[in-house]
Structure 1
Amino acid sequence: MTEQEFDSRLKHLVEQALIEDVGDGDHSSLCCIPADQRGKAVLKIKQEGILAGVKVAQQIFKQVEPLAHFNIYKNDGEAMNMGEVAFEVEASTQNILKCERLVLNSMQRMSGIATLTNVYVEKLKGYKTKILDTRKTTPNFRLLEKAAVKIGGAVNHRFGLFDMIMLKDNHIDFCGGIVKAIDKAYDYVQTTKPGLKIEVETRTLEDVRLATATGKVFRIMLDNMSPETITEALTIIDGRAETEASGGINLSNIESYAATGVDFISVGALIHQAKSLDLSLKAV
């Protein structure tokens, strides 16, 4: 995804999130805060971790009030400690209050994901293997969750169903076999979507042999295989496709998978098991 595409998607996300939250007005603020009152607030860090979402917070405030003053003290990806201040914003008080919850929800979630991701990434220092995320994301919040994964030091897998062909077990079974599914996908790419990459999930070493022999996939997923089986699979593939280990991999066993030399390890837990971190936006 290009920076321009990300910015466009982020703008849409912010618009929809504010519609959901504000509705016909922030009546809590409208009833007691003068429309012309100016205010200042700071983002206070209350928990250690990896900071994520500062640039998103800036976009939220600037989208609501283009002339808001936004001063950054800590950047996305930096280690954060309790008591530090990430940024300061000066704007209409009503707008600060309108944006508060969206900013906190985004940054707390993103920082939790970035922090957990960084733990996985640190585990694999010294190995060539890279960590991938998955599509196990929160509906309508995937943009920021995947951004947080990158901030934490890992690599994004496909964003959605549109930017890569990924033939999983159900595709293969419904289609009638792994070779048939690969052949159909390859023909589809040639005639309908040139340049679209094809990945295929394999469940056995025989699947690996069949998929490799086609020469039509750029990556082979090795699903729910032991490190020993993956080592055998890598010998069969012999560098003719990228390789991805997936299924049942966690912090306690991930190094044994990386030691096989597999190119990527995909971990859905980066997102769906991450816990939001504690941050607060306070008036000053």
Structure 2
Amino acid sequence: MLTPRLITRTVAAALDEDAPWGDLTSTALLPEDATATADLVAREDGVFSGGEVFAAAFTLTDAAVQVDVHVGDGDRFSEGDVLATVTGPARGVLTAERVGLNFTQRMSGIATLTAQYVQAVDGTGARIADTRKTTPGLRAFERHAVACGGGRNHRQSLSDAVMAKDNHLAVLQRDGRDLARALREALSHLPHTTHVVVEVDRLDQIPAVLDGGAHTVLLDNFSIDDLRAGVALIDGRAQTEASGGVDLTTVRAIASTGVDVISVGALTHSARALDLGLDVRID
């Protein structure tokens, strides 16, 4: 969850990384009493995310800087729109510029890409979800951006749910353990609120997963025909999730198979930073 405390801690670390001994250029060139007003301007259409994070970059640099964000997280905007205005000591404005832009460009890029996936499956009933393929240390920021784009968040961490993937199943198979029995034993010890997901890559694995009591069956890298067959075989006894081979050209067909959730690693690991600029007013 993206909390004010996390924003402060993470943005402060980014500012320290970018100017560990201060901003040499701004200090050398700009008078101490110089002021500036700058606009955050969209160079392309998109979905906004990271307004609070953007503002924190400036206010943590200099408390005298004022940031007015004109759009809300999740709002759509068009090329040329002014998304925020920053006013205050020029040194503080320019010192924080890159860090503020880095966060909001990255987050808005994720939100925009997510919105494209959500639009692509509109009307099918399938939900678009993120994965744990996030930038280390920035997961809460990127997951917030996914939500801004209309997507859903998968488990936050390894501590939040049981998710048995191919390598977990390989260890069980190597040790000669029956999958259904292993799942039932795990469920008998887990809190009743814990969700259990099992990933399969073949149709013949599904009966054991259902017999073991999994709540979600993750159909990984299935063909469209096999996805339909898997959904039919599961027949509402567990939630269905599809992953692998998902992009904007395939996601609609995947959604049409009847799966409940489509998890898309590309939302966070491949999103392009949106083109936003901070323009100092000169008049």
* Structure 1 Cα separation of the partners of residues 237 and 220 of structure 2: 18
Out of 25, 30, 33, the position equivalent to 1:28 is: 25
* Alpha-carbon spacing, 1:55–1:203, altered in 2? closer, same or farther (3 Å): same
Give the structure 2 partner of residue 75 of structure 1. Answer: 72
**Partner residue in 2 for 1:196:** 194
The answer (yes or no) to whether the contact 2:131–2:153 under 8 Å persists in 1 is yes
| C-alpha separation in 2, matches of 1:29 and 1:185 | 59
Worse-matched range after superposition: 148-157 or 170-179: 170-179
The residue correspondences of 1:126-275 to structure 2 (distance < 5 A) are: 126-176=123-173, 178-179=179-180, 181-183=182-184, 185-187=186-188, 189-190=190-191, 195-215=193-213, 217-275=214-272
- Give secondary structure in 1 for the equivalent of 2:241: strand
> Deviation of residue 31 (structure 1)?
1.7
Q: TM-score, normalised by structure 1?
A: 0.89
Q: CA deviation at 1:246?
A: 0.7
Is the 8 Å Cα contact of residues 65 and 92 (structure 2) preserved in structure 1? no
**Cα drift, residue 181 of structure 1:** 4.8
CA deviation string 1:17-71 (max 9, x = no partner) = 1121111221111222334433221101111222222222123223334453222
What's the counterpart of residue 103 of structure 2?
106
Task: Name the stretch that deviates more: 145-154 or 64-73.
Answer: 64-73
Change over 3 Å in CA distance of 1:18–1:196 after alignment to 2: farther
Matched residue SS, 1:31: helix
Answer whether contact 1:51 1:111 (CA < 8 A) is retained: yes
User: Cα RMSD (Å) of the superposition?
Assistant: 2.0
**C-alpha displacement at 1:272, in angstroms?**
2.2
Q: Does the aligned pair in 2 maintain the 1:172–1:181 contact within 8 Å?
A: no
What is the TM-score normalised by the length of structure 2? 0.89
Shift of 1:187: 4.8
Work out whether residues 240 and 261 of structure 2, in 8 Å CA contact, stay in contact via their aligned partners in 1.
Answer: yes
Deviation at 1:184, TM superposition (A): 5.3
Letter in 1 for 2:172: C
Amino acid at match of 2:251: I
Which 10-residue stretch deviates more, 13-22 or 63-72? 63-72
SS of the aligned residue for 1:252 comes to coil
One of 75, 83, 87 as aligned partner of 2:84? 87
After TM superposition, the structure 1 = structure 2 runs for residues 44-55 of structure 1, keeping only pairs within 5 Å, are 44-55=41-52
CA distance in 2, matches of 1:99, 1:182: 51
| Native 8 Å contact 2:180 2:211 kept in 1 | no
SS of the residue corresponding to residue 29 of structure 2 reads coil
Of all paired residues, the percent bearing the same amino acid is 37
Structure 1 residue 156: Cα displacement: 1.1
- 1:52 is matched by which residue type in structure 2? S
The unaligned stretches of length 5 or more in structure 2 are none
> 2:122 is paired with a residue of what secondary structure?
coil
Q: 1:16 to 1:70 in 2, by over 3 A?
A: same
Cα distance, 1:236 vs. partner?
2.7
User: Contact 2:180/2:208 (CA < 8 Å) preserved in 1?
Assistant: yes
